[in-house]
Amino acid sequence: MKKQFFIAAIAIGILVQFGVLAWMLVNRELTLRHGDVCLLQTAPVDPADPFRGRYVALRYAGLNNVKVEGEQNTWARGKPVWITFKTDESSVGTIDEVLLNKPDNPLCMKAYIQYSWKDYAPADPPVTNEWGQVERGPTGKVKLTFNDLPIERFYLPEKLAPEAENAYRKAINSAFNKDNNEEKADKVFAKVRFRKGQAVIEDLLFDDVPLREYLCNAGKTKQ
């Protein structure tokens, strides 16, 4: 009897795991099909950060050192928060708010605080100390960084990922390099879909050209 119970418990556990995995996949597909679109401009990654596996590592302008109102203990490390976005007429998005409770805004995703620290800035008007240095004081705000955001990795087929990584790095380094001599540097946007707090990357856009089309055109140019 105990043996049968043990086997049944194992079977139920396996079914539950498969059920959770299946729901995650279904939820992701529903987000890609029906989620609200937001284009987030990417920023250069740390050049020391190597390409890892079958995905392109992405960074976003404005998602590092986000400033919020309040005391530091309110925004403690490991605390769950909700990041909301707002878009312009071209669907290009920027951070709107970071909230402690889930908002009504459909363009939101859940995140966890990695680090938080008090924000300091020079006084206005500037005040110098006895060593001639401009003194800095607390602004009443807190800066935040986040753990493993769901939009930091864009997974691709293994053969395509290295080519995509190289194209991404080249494009964003050109776009953010003020001294580049190129007539036109492509901005790279992640096309993200949001649904019920979940965020999924649908594609990478080089200006308005989808990744695969961009790589195909680049290959033709080389020829």
Pick the range with the lowest mean pLDDT from 10-14, 34-38, 197-201: 10-14
Token code pair at residue 112: 């966890």
Same domain, 49 and 27: no
Token pair 């195909």: residue: 216
Count of domains forming the chain: 2
Same domain, 130 and 154: yes
Same domain, 141 and 40: yes
Same domain, 23 and 78: no
Same domain, 215 and 107: yes
Say if residue 163 is exposed, middle or buried (CB neighbours under 10 Å; 0-12, 13-18, 19+). middle
Cβ distance 117 to 144 under 8 Å? no
Average pLDDT over residues 6-16: 52
- What's this model's pTM, rounded to 2 decimal places? 0.74
Q: 195: Cβ–Cβ under 8 A, 6 or more apart, which residues?
A: 30, 31, 34, 35, 36, 106
Beta strands in 90-210 (DSSP E): 92-99, 108-122, 136-147, 153-155, 188-195, 198-206, 209-210
Distance CA 132, CA 1 (A): 82
Token code pair at residue 40: 């987030």
Cβ distance 190 to 42 under 8 Å? yes
Same domain, 158 and 180: yes
Q: Is 74 helix (H, G, I), strand (E, B) or coil?
A: helix
Give residue-wise pLDDT tens across range 131-159. Answer: 777 778 888 899 999 988 989 989 888 88
Same domain, 10 and 75: no
Same domain, 42 and 84: yes
Same domain, 194 and 90: yes
Distance CA 183, CA 198 (A): 38
**Crossing angle of the two packed helices 211-222 and 161-176, in degrees rounded to 10:** 90
pLDDT of 183 reads 46
Same domain, 176 and 132: yes
Cβ distance 57 to 169 under 8 Å? no
Say if residue 99 is exposed, middle or buried (CB neighbours under 10 Å; 0-12, 13-18, 19+). middle
pLDDT of 51 reads 46
Same domain, 187 and 169: yes
Same domain, 131 and 77: yes
Give residue-wise pLDDT tens across range 39-88. Answer: 998 887 654 444 455 788 888 878 888 999 999 999 999 999 999 999 99
Give residue-wise pLDDT tens across range 20-29. Answer: 455 455 556 6
Distance CA 94, CA 38 (A): 9
> What DSSP string describes 119-138?
EEEE-SS--B-TTSPBPEEE
Domain of residue 70 covers: 36-222
